Each structure stands twice: as structure tokens, then as C-alpha cells.
Amino acid sequence: MSALPPRPVTLTGQHVELVPLTFDHLDDLFAAGGGDEEVWRWQGGPAPRTREELRERMEGVLGNAKYVPFAVVHRASGRAVGWTTYLDVAVADERLEIGWTWYGRAYWRSAVNTETKLLLLTHAFEELGMGRVQLKTDHRNERSQAAIARLGARREGVLRRHRRRPDGSWRDSVYFSLLADEWPAAKARLTERLATG
């Protein structure tokens, strides 16, 4: 079976629901992370200080035909608390990337990221038929690297001087991946982590 391209869908878990990102989520997202420099530190620019600035960021995500973005909705509150995206999709090569992810700081170190990634990875491997899912982050973003490693992804290497940051400095990008044959064990660990809190 060949892989399928990702499409806007709703993925539902116990703690979060991933729904297609729209401008209807703008107010919730601004309340969750607008103006918080720590949330936006690694997102390629300063924190959006106004709803309009966040809307401009959203336009960049929603306007890119190569992205499939999701709002991360916290089920207990019914509010969007971040977004995440499928990108760098290569159906013929059975691979995609999960990235452009952020959550409001109140949801860090909660079940939100674990379940979001569990839903996205399950969909990618089990419904879309992907053989590889990659994730990458700034080499200075140790919190993100640790979170990716906890998913069971393997660190593959570093692309040096990969991307210019808004301040003019150069980012090295640390790449991680999970392969389809590694997914069952990773899924079991993630499911157990969610169950034990």
C-alpha cells in the first residue's frame, strides 16, 4: 500500500482534540500564548504582541499549501491552546514532518504535547501509511530536544548553519525521526505515559 497525503481531519484524544486550524481560533490562541516571548523564542520571530500580529503568523501557516495545520484544543476547557502542523510531505517517499508546533506555557509539561504527538503519529503511520516521520528543532532548544526524545524518536544529526534567525544569527537544526517499524514500541510507551500521568 502506498502512502496517502494528509488532509484536514479531526483527531480526538482524551485530553486534546486536533482540528483544522482556522482564524476562528485566533482569540483562544492569542489568550494562550500571545506576547509570551518564551513560547515564541524558537518560532522564528518575536512573540506576537497583538491579535493582528498573531493573525499574520496564522496567515503564513494557513496560506502555505504544503502545510496541514491543526489547532490543539484542550478538551476540558474547549479552547485552542496552540497549533501544530504536518509539513515537508513526500508521499512517494512515505514521509512527512511534524513541526511548527507551539502551546501556551500553561500547558507545558502536561498531557497536551504527549497526546498531540500520539494522535499525529498514529494518524501518520496507521492511517496515512507513512514509513518515516521527522521532527527538527533549534540546537539551542534543549527543552524541545528532550520532549522529542521522550517520544521515542532517534536523533539523526545536525544540519549546521541551516537557517538564519530573525536576529541574524545562524541556527543549527537537530533532526530526529521515527520509522514505521519503531512505531509500535514508541506508541506503547506514549500510551503508558499518558495513562500514568
Does the structure show a pLDDT above 70 at 1?
no
Dihedral sign (CA 194, 96, 156, 101): negative
Contact 112, 17 (CB under 8 A): no
Per-residue model confidence as pLDDT tens digits over 25-74: 999 999 999 999 999 988 877 899 999 999 999 999 999 999 999 999 99
Per-residue model confidence as pLDDT tens digits over 114-168: 999 999 999 999 999 999 999 999 999 998 999 899 899 999 999 999 988 878 8
CATH of 11-196, one of 1.10.760.10, 3.40.50.300, 3.40.630.30, 1.25.40.20: 3.40.630.30
Per-residue pLDDT, 129: 98
- Domain ranges, ordered by start, for the chain: 11-196
Per-residue pLDDT, 19: 98
Per-residue pLDDT, 43: 85
